[in-house]
Chains A and B, each alone.
Chain A
Amino acid sequence: MSSPAKRVLLVGEPPLADELGQLCGDAGCAVSVYRVEVLAGTDGLEVIRREAKSADVAFDILSASIEAKQQVVTALDAALAPDALLFTSALSTTATQVGSWAGRPERMIGFAALPPLGKGGTLELAAGLRSNAQAVERACEFVASIGLEPVLVKDSVGLVLPRIVCGLVNEAAGALAEGVADTAAIDTAMRLGTNYPRGPLEWADLIGLDVVLAVLEGLQKETGDDRYRPAPILRQYIRAGWLGRKSGKGFYTYTDH
């Protein structure tokens, strides 16, 4: 892991997959990014397996579909060299759960971040119950080497930031659906009334409504707590294909798509 030019493979959802890929590339790594759409192809998993053989570090950045996540993680785990690191998104599952699908759970590390993620940002890391200490240490070193601050937290669904922000999105979406105020008023109120960096609905569009829903469903399933029941408007928008910026429409409409 001390060699500067590492080969990094990222598979997952935009924009986080692209943002992380950019950071790895800027740090001098040889980067391959495969967006989730690669799985739609008949040989998608084959491509991932082939790429994984020569990768030193791989990221699974999938959360919206647990089936897709399991397929990708299983393929990565089987094809990666034994000493390669495997980062798995802990947005909708725990790292321990993902580790249960893998032959080598000891080299697997959970992570979480939300877009926009740039140099100097924070990447939350969580060791699964079967991750080993050496892998955790190497993961922290790698994260620091791409210009992010690693912060270790306990393995749990959504870790810290996604859990808080998706909670805000859920509440804002519920308030919108109930006619408390319109989209722009809710975002303006939260930016000016509480100094949030951006409105929750604007942020949801950036994260992806499907990802927000996956975090909430993951928390609801894991805890059984009714606190996390998703606002129905999230499901309705997703059914309409309104996923946020990545699909050109979410709570707002984007013409630059």
Chain B
Amino acid sequence: METIGVIGAGTMGSGIAQVAAQFGHPVILYDVAQAYAERGLEKIRAALARNVEKQRMERSDAEAALGLITPTTDLSTMHAARIAIEAAPEDIDLKRDLFAQLDRICPPESILASNTSSLSIAALADATKRADRVAGMHFFNPPPLMALIEVVRGDTFGSDATIAALVDLARRWGKTPVIARDTPGFIVNRVARPFYLEALKLLGEGVADVPTIDRIVRSAGFRMGPFELMDLIGIDVNYAVTQSVYNAFFQDARYRPHPIQQRMVESGRLGCKTGRGFYDYSATGETKATP
């Protein structure tokens, strides 16, 4: 089984490492500080333990998966990776620097993939001398549970073989890959914008209040209404994605952010994680609309 490298041991990186290890790949899990890499491994340990507890997994399989993951702060160990998946913070300079280093470290036949949701694959490929072996591999949060992977192909590079290898890897991991072009927001982060922005406009115009809009949307079969979902994602995170897509399309009105988002972020009401967003989560797990 080929070795998978994961760069960045945060929520996405550790989730991707867990998936790879569960499917029997040796995994090198890199982060800049030992404490971060260890914390990523700890997250995986806890997630696997929960799977065993809920009888979704044999204890021996969980132990085997954990044993396949090597946390490290030494990027040169990525030399062993057949496919390296970068899941570092969404900072173009940081990512370009990582891709340039990985390009020097990894054997020429290795594929360098990025889990970026908002940066262009072209800008990352340009930092390497192997643009045909660079592609996007965008997982959804949390990677062990979400079936979708957007495999993103550059317009003028990114060989068929590279895309086929990533599609094949995704399928072997029981995921559903879709191929998208290297355009702002790819598929999901672009097409989903009106779900949040129209809801915010409806709220701003006083067409209906937060719980009413959520109730109407849920009644059509959506698992969550736009406001509860923004609270879950983090209003700051959702606002950042909105701004990123808006700017990537050169301020096309279609993607214009809403002042309500900005106001919520300014007031520190970021959603579930701060106990208050469009709803109040401070009481014993109970949710209610904030006035």
Contact = CB atoms under 8 A, between A and B. Distances in A.
A151 interface: yes
A198 B215 CA distance: 18
B197 interface: yes
A153 B212 contact: yes
A185 B221 contact: no
B110 to A, nearest CB: 26
Interface stretch (B45-53, B54-62, B95-103, B173-181): B173-181
A103 interface: no
Interface stretch (A30-38, A130-138, A173-181): A173-181
B65 interface: no
B23 interface: no
Contacts of A185: 178-180, 187
B139 to A, nearest CB: 10
B253 A225 contact: yes
B194 A160 contact: no
B247 to A, nearest CB: 16
Given A159-B207, A165-B220, A180-B183, A190 B192 contact: yes
A188 B176 contact: yes
B64 interface: no
Contacts of B181: 179-181
Interface residues of A, number: 42
Interface in B160-207: 176, 178-181, 183, 186-188, 190-195, 197-199, 202, 205-207
Given A164-B226, A167-B194, A181-B181, A193 B220 contact: no
Interface string A209-237: 00000000000000001110100000000
B254 A171 contact: yes
A49 B224 CA distance: 43
Interface string B217-235: 1011111101000000000
Contacts of A193: 140, 146, 148, 150, 187-188, 192
A197 B222 contact: yes
B188 A190 contact: yes
A181 B216 contact: no
B213 interface: yes
Contact of A164 (B194, B221, B254): B194
A189 B253 contact: no
B217 A160 contact: yes
Q: SS class of chain B's interface: helix, strand, loop or mixed?
A: mixed
A194 B194 CA distance: 13
Interface string A102-130: 00000000000010000001101000000
B193 to A, nearest CB: 6
Contacts of B176: 188, 192
Nearest to A178: B183
Contact of B191 (A200, A226, A229): A200
A68 B95 CA distance: 56
A226 B178 contact: no
B221 A190 contact: no
A159 B198 CA distance: 11
A7 interface: no
A189 B178 contact: yes
Interface in B128-155: 140, 146-148, 150
A178 B190 CA distance: 12
Interface of A: 114, 121-122, 124, 149, 151, 153-154, 156, 159-161, 163-165, 167-168, 170-172, 175, 178-181, 185-186, 188-190, 192-198, 200, 225-227, 229
Given A164-B194, A192-B148, 16 more contacts: A124-B216, A149-B219, A153-B207, A154-B208, A160-B202, A164-B198, A167-B195, A168-B191, A171-B191, A180-B186, A180-B187, A192-B176, A193-B187, A193-B192, A197-B222, A227-B253
Interface of B: 140, 146-148, 150, 176, 178-181, 183, 186-188, 190-195, 197-199, 202, 205-208, 212-213, 215-217, 219-224, 226, 253-254, 256
